[in-house]
């Protein structure tokens, strides 16, 4: 029995992998697609922001997801947050349930902790296919604030 954890890591999005990252959105169910913007839109928004950090998520060399952070408040970007904001986070449909999302988020949190970042904010819609349960299991708690029709959550980075 192989109990070795997969190597989940981040890679820059480049001209060689951007199309594959964009196509990951097509692997989500219709309900999930209502909860997260398509990766092509997210990548375009990131390129229009001075405060974005984005990466492709790989597991054992295979592309499995996408992460986009927003660093600091920027009203022009629509982000009103005192620190780091998990703007987008997705794992491809066929790769869900393999713990890649948890491992990627753990890796991201370790990266942020090493930089001295005290908290990570995010927001999500509620209802069918909402990632709220995942975020709460990872330790995020509601702040009581809203981002449009999405609830805001925060996680203390320890």
What is the arithmetic mean of pLDDT over 92-121? 97
Q: How confident is the model at residue 43 (pLDDT cuts 50, 70, 90)?
A: very high
Mean pLDDT of the chain: 93
Task: In whole angstroms, give the CA distance from residue 40 to residue 47.
Answer: 11
Domains of the chain, first to last: 8-156 (3.40.630.30)
Task: In whole angstroms, give the CA distance from residue 59 to residue 95.
Answer: 9
- pLDDT computed for residue 75 by the predictor: 62
| 82 pLDDT more than 90 | no
Q: How confident is the model at residue 2 (pLDDT cuts 50, 70, 90)?
A: low
Task: In whole angstroms, give the CA distance from residue 150 to residue 46.
Answer: 20
What is the arithmetic mean of pLDDT over 23-40? 97
Q: How confident is the model at residue 77 (pLDDT cuts 50, 70, 90)?
A: low
| 1 pLDDT more than 70 | no
Residue 6 burial (C-beta neighbours within 10 Å; 0-12, 13-18, 19+): middle
Q: Is the pTM of this model over 0.95?
A: no
- pLDDT computed for residue 62 by the predictor: 97
Task: In whole angstroms, give the CA distance from residue 153 to residue 131.
Answer: 11
Q: How confident is the model at residue 115 (pLDDT cuts 50, 70, 90)?
A: very high
């Amino acid at each position: 029995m192989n109990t070795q954890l997969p190597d989940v890591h981040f890679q820059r999005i480049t001209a060689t992998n951007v199309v594959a990252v964009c196509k990951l959105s097509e692997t989500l169910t219709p309900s999930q697609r209502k909860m997260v913007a398509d990766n092509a839109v997210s990548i375009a928004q990131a390129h229009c922001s001075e405060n974005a950090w984005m990466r492709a998520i790989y597991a054992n060399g295979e592309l499995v997801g996408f992460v986009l952070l927003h660093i600091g408040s920027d009203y022009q970007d629509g982000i009103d947050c005192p620190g780091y904001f998990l703007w987008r986070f997705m794992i491809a449909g066929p790769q869900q349930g393999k713990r890649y999302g948890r491992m990627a988020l753990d890796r991201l949190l370790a990266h942020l902790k090493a930089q001295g970042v005290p908290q990570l904010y995010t927001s999500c819609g509620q209802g069918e296919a909402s990632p709220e349960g995942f975020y709460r299991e990872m330790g995020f708690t509601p702040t009581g604030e809203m981002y449009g029709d999405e609830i805001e959550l925060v996680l203390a980075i320890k």
